[in-house]
Amino acid sequence: MKTKLILLIFSLFHFALTNAQETAMSSAEITSFKQTVIAEAQKIKTLKTDFVQYKHLDFLSKEITSSGSMLLKNPDKLLWKYNTPIQYGILFKDNKVLVNDQGKKNKVDLGNNKKFEKINKMIIGSISGDLFAANDFTITFHKNRNQRIAKLSPKTKDLSAYIQTIILYFNDQQSTVSEVQLIEPSKDYTKIVFKNKQINHPINDASFSF
């Protein structure tokens, strides 16, 4: 009985390891994958999705988990709304970013702050997969049993100062991003998992407000 149990545990462990193991894509796979993702990204006019965010900080024993929803309307409207554990919102609109921290609002003009402007473009590109067309990153492509993976390393000092690597995960059934991982130079990271995604459903402009 013990022998069978050990063999079962080993088999399950081997299956999980094989399923998670990454290998590099071939040149042909990369070309096909990029063409598909970019073509689908260009079709996105609106996107609505729920998300769960996991924040790993080295000095904490547990990840900080939060959840909410996200609205995107191309070319320049993006709203993140965190519902738990606190209510918090970030709105990119009309070349400005508005932060609503539990009722306390602050505004930043993107035209006068290139850092926030790049963050806005990076976030939108991360969600849609349109970052493949950007020249600010060195990109490598990988795959495992159920996912296609793109790893982006910033080329510029202003981006690499706060982001070491962006990892985009695509499920085999989808050509849009299912998960984003943002790794900081300190090795702390943020992982965002998207669910209940709706693409090109009507979104009223009035929705992009606090």
- Name the token pair of 162: 């706060």
Q: Is 89 helix (H, G, I), strand (E, B) or coil?
A: strand
On whether residue 198 sits in a domain, the answer given is yes
Structural domains of the chain, count: 1
Q: Which residue has the higher pLDDT, 97 or 66?
A: 66
pLDDT at 192: 92
Domain, as residue range, for 129:
24-60+114-202
For residues 126, 129, 134, 137, the Cα torsion angle rounded to the nearest 10 degrees is 60
Read off the pLDDT band of 134 (50, 70, 90). low
For residues 201, 147, 185, 117, the Cα torsion angle rounded to the nearest 10 degrees is -20
Whether pTM > 0.85 for this model: the answer is: no
Q: What is the mean pLDDT of residues 25-54?
A: 91
On whether residue 146 sits in a domain, the answer given is yes
- Name the token pair of 96: 């400005």
On whether residue 173 sits in a domain, the answer given is yes
Question: What is the Cα Rg of the chain in Å?
Answer: 19
pLDDT at 43: 87
pLDDT at 42: 83
Closest CA to 95 of 120, 129, 123: 120
On whether residue 151 sits in a domain, the answer given is yes
Read off the pLDDT band of 140 (50, 70, 90). very high
The answer, yes or no, to whether residue 16 has pLDDT greater than 50, is no
Q: Is 175 left (phi over 0), alpha (psi -120 to 50) or beta?
A: alpha
On whether residue 80 sits in a domain, the answer given is no
pLDDT at 60: 86
Q: What is the mean pLDDT of residues 33-45?
A: 86
157-181 pLDDT, tens digit per residue, is 878 888 899 899 998 677 788 999 9
Q: Is 137 left (phi over 0), alpha (psi -120 to 50) or beta?
A: beta
On whether residue 166 sits in a domain, the answer given is yes
Q: What is the CATH number of the domain that holds 46?
A: 2.50.20.10
On whether residue 125 sits in a domain, the answer given is yes
On whether residue 82 sits in a domain, the answer given is no
CB atoms inside a 10 Å sphere around CB 51: 21
Q: What is the mean pLDDT of residues 39-64?
A: 90
Q: What is the mean pLDDT of residues 51-71?
A: 93
What are residue 115's phi and psi, to 5 degrees? -65, -50
The answer, yes or no, to whether residue 206 has pLDDT greater than 70, is yes
84-120 pLDDT, tens digit per residue, is 999 999 998 888 888 999 888 888 776 666 666 666 6
